[in-house]
Structure 1
Amino acid sequence: MRSVFKYSLLRLVRNKANLFWILVFPIVLACLFKVAFSNITESESFHTIPVAVVSDESINAKAFCAMTDALSTDENDAMLAVTYCRDKKAKKLLKEKKVDGIFYAKDTVTLSVNADASDSSINQSILQVLLTQFYVNRDLVLKSMNDHPENIKNLTTSLSETISPRKEVSLTSADTDTYDQYFYNLIAMACLYTALGGIRLAIENAANLTSLAARKTISPTRKFTAIAGELAAYILFESILNILAFLSIVKVLGIHMAQRPLLSLLTIVISSACSISFGMFLGCIGPKSKGGKTTIMFVIVMPCCFLSGLMMGTMRMVVEKHAPFINRINPAALISDCFYTLNNYDNLQRFATDLLTLSVMAVLFFGISCLVTRRKTYASL
């Protein structure tokens, strides 16, 4: 068994197609994901809005300036960066896109924006909402002064407490990102691609398909011992490739998906074993040609990745709502959910359930493959 294990490793090292699909392709795809999602995250993140204010000495102007001052006092988390200036300078700043809008604070407060600054449309909308909110609050204070002057102090206090525009609330102790799930699914896809090795292993032990398998059949080595040695080599080597891809994504690209590194590596090893066993199962059934078996593998793996959310992030939630059983047997969903649970949950019960399911699937596929392989007989070789 030791020699089988050794020479299986040497053959795997020379398999360039295997190296590409399991190591190179996931890393390249991860780099593309990083470039695409970093731009999205940057566009969605909030930045302090630069604005110019042109005011006079009217009551409305003073009230509005008090509101803008309150929204720009926090240096680290200010909503507005206010520049008080004259009309001429304000228009110049707006034309040069150094501010996103001009507030004219007089008896009537108005907002002026640059219609050509499409990249500032979100900030312009926020400024318009602030202006609307100012008028709502002003009318509320005036009405309270006329109808219930005794409540004016409590009202002004409550209005000032709602000035903070943002509050960050963390649902978990981990540093997570909305788009990390795509990288979880990417690792799941890489693990499932190790099924290619399982197909190769099955073909190389089918004497009617390859001359190598024919020589193995008439050798004195027990068939189960030979298959077990080869399987161990495949699991070790392809797990290492997946681990290298995982470490590249974590260390080089800086994706936060290694909160529990040892359990993450265990997930990769068990996922690789499950996928290789699945590949063996496919190699024992279906078309005789390697190309036909590989096609079946991709036809199964890619829909699994799609349903787990690799191409559409919300797809897994859609499946969970309408057909949750699919998520319980979809290996891609189970693998990605393992990483999601490790990086977001303190309780590992859900992770243990997913990993146990993958382990049972690996044993089941390997057992069936061994039974099918051992029962095959050949009239002549």
Structure 2
Amino acid sequence: MFAHNFLYTLKILLGRRSLVFWTMAFPLILATLFYLAFSNFSASSQFEPIRIAVVRSEEKTENSEIFESAIATLSDPDQETQVFKTHYTTAAKAKQQLADNKIAGYIISSDQPSVHIKENGIEQTILKSAVDEILVDTDIIQHAAAKQIEIEMRQGNPNPDVQSITQEAADAVLNEDVKIKDISGEHLDPIMVEFYTLLAMVCMYSGTIGMEAVSKHQANVNAQGKRTSITGVKKSTLVFSSALASWLIQLAALTVVFLFTYHVLHIDYGTHWMQVILLTCVGSLAGLCFGIFVCTLPKISQPNKDSLIITLTMVGSFLSGMMGVDMKYFIDKNMPLVNKLNPVAMITDGYYALYTNIGAARFYEDLFSLLIFSGILLVIAIFGLRRQTYDSL
């Protein structure tokens, strides 16, 4: 019965022209309009390295030395991918420079480095993400060094060169993992947020397909639901098979949008393709769970549920920067909880984190937030569907 309903749902959904339009045709049209509108507007000049200050702690530790080495690597003017323009000063001078807007922020280098900023923005976001990434790399370096020391001691070396081993581990990790590269021009182009928000919107539009697939099993919605409710087949089997069919259709639509924007519009999604695909699948799943959740809401007609999904998706896209990246930063600065709960913002932020290489921690935070969002809505929807019971004849 699972396979039968799965194939039947695929056939039904693919025959709905309105769903095909909203999930595939509309995003392609919108992407083309974005490209035409912003192709000459995109920033083409070199982005200046971010001005920051570093306050050295009086007490030198292994962590602080590794941290300062990473900052020095990202601040090297001889590198084509210089990220920061760094100078070392005292805490008092750094505070004054920050107050005078001479620097984007300053870092206090210690065993547990801390970042101090005056306001949120692109530069401040990159600074905080870079520090987070360096801290993760520091843990990796310490673990790798400890493992190598243990190996040498087992091989008969009672006094391994700890400093040399740590430095080798640091060189390996920092050269491979701290890759906030090419932030000039295209890699800090705020227009990319528009396209990432577009993809996030398409992910959330899977809610309309999910709702359409699940609603046909609700007896209080249509005649088909009345017939399926008296068959004796478990509702969970019908719902999950329909949801799976909906998810696959949405992933197919997203594939078309990706191929069109990448090969035709030449939109760059960075080099982390596996993470991009993972984020897209999870984002589409979040949209599906959102649609199933709306489908179970009582006392709302089917047309109004459709309107609710589209309206909330568009509002979420607007707050995520679709109509202007300034809106995203305004919300992040003044009402950060809004975009923390906004699935469109989570998806957009995840794409941008991958594109600019500003930290795996930020990407996985967005990814797990989407999974939690999906899980909560799905649990609520399941309880809502379980309350809708009917006698079999």
By the TM > 0.5 criterion, same fold? yes
| Structure 1 residue 4 displacement after superposition | 1.6
Counterpart in the other structure of 2:28: 27
Q: Following superposition of structure 1 onto structure 2, how do residues 322-341 of structure 1 map, counting pairs within 5 Å?
A: 322-341=334-353
Q: Confirm or deny: 8 A CA contact 1:208 1:378 kept in the other structure.
A: no
Q: Following superposition of structure 1 onto structure 2, how do residues 1-381 of structure 1 map, counting pairs within 5 Å?
A: 1-41=2-42, 172-173=181-182, 175-176=186-187, 177-345=189-357, 347-378=359-390
TM-score normalized with structure 1 length: 0.64
The separation in 2 between residues aligned to 1:171 and 1:220, in whole angstroms, is 57
Percent identity, please: 29
Describe the shift of the 1:171–1:260 C-alpha distance in structure 2 as closer, same or farther (beyond 3 A).
closer
Partner of 2:267, secondary structure, is: coil
Partner of 1:41, secondary structure, is: coil
The separation in 1 between residues aligned to 2:238 and 2:253, in whole angstroms, is 23
Deviations 1:128-176 (A, max 9, x none): xxxxxxxxxxxxxxxxxxxxxxxxxxxxxxxxxxxxxxxxxx9634652
| Structure 1 residue 311 displacement after superposition | 0.8
Counterpart in the other structure of 1:53: none
The separation in 2 between residues aligned to 1:7 and 1:272, in whole angstroms, is 21
Deviations 1:298-332 (A, max 9, x none): 23222111111101211111111111111211001
Q: Confirm or deny: 8 A CA contact 1:180 1:257 kept in the other structure.
A: no
| Structure 1 residue 360 displacement after superposition | 1.4
The separation in 1 between residues aligned to 2:40 and 2:377, in whole angstroms, is 42
Q: Confirm or deny: 8 A CA contact 1:281 1:368 kept in the other structure.
A: yes
The one-letter amino acid paired with 2:12 is R
The one-letter amino acid paired with 2:22 is W
Describe the shift of the 1:379–1:171 C-alpha distance in structure 2 as closer, same or farther (beyond 3 A).
closer
Q: Confirm or deny: 8 A CA contact 1:287 1:293 kept in the other structure.
A: no
Q: Confirm or deny: 8 A CA contact 2:181 2:356 kept in the other structure.
A: yes
Q: Confirm or deny: 8 A CA contact 2:190 2:325 kept in the other structure.
A: no
| Structure 1 residue 259 displacement after superposition | 2.3
Partner of 2:39, secondary structure, is: helix
| Structure 1 residue 220 displacement after superposition | 2.9
Paired positions, count: 257
Partner of 1:39, secondary structure, is: coil
Q: Confirm or deny: 8 A CA contact 2:32 2:265 kept in the other structure.
A: yes
Deviations 1:320-371 (A, max 9, x none): 1111111211001001011101111153111111011111111221121111
The one-letter amino acid paired with 2:277 is L
The separation in 2 between residues aligned to 1:326 and 1:178, in whole angstroms, is 20
Query: 5+ residue gaps in structure 1?
Result: 47-169
Partner of 2:40, secondary structure, is: helix
| Structure 1 residue 45 displacement after superposition | 5.5
Q: Confirm or deny: 8 A CA contact 1:196 1:294 kept in the other structure.
A: yes
Deviations 1:41-74 (A, max 9, x none): 38x769xxxxxxxxxxxxxxxxxxxxxxxxxxxx
Q: Confirm or deny: 8 A CA contact 2:214 2:243 kept in the other structure.
A: no
The separation in 2 between residues aligned to 1:267 and 1:244, in whole angstroms, is 16
Query: 5+ residue gaps in structure 2?
Result: 47-178
The separation in 2 between residues aligned to 1:182 and 1:270, in whole angstroms, is 20
Q: Confirm or deny: 8 A CA contact 1:243 1:268 kept in the other structure.
A: no
Deviations 1:65-120 (A, max 9, x none): xxxxxxxxxxxxxxxxxxxxxxxxxxxxxxxxxxxxxxxxxxxxxxxxxxxxxxxx
The one-letter amino acid paired with 2:265 is L
Counterpart in the other structure of 2:71: none
The one-letter amino acid paired with 1:13 is L
The separation in 2 between residues aligned to 1:230 and 1:311, in whole angstroms, is 34
Partner of 2:323, secondary structure, is: coil
Q: Confirm or deny: 8 A CA contact 1:5 1:232 kept in the other structure.
A: yes
Q: Give the alignment's Cα RMSD to 1 decimal.
A: 2.2
Q: Confirm or deny: 8 A CA contact 2:204 2:287 kept in the other structure.
A: yes
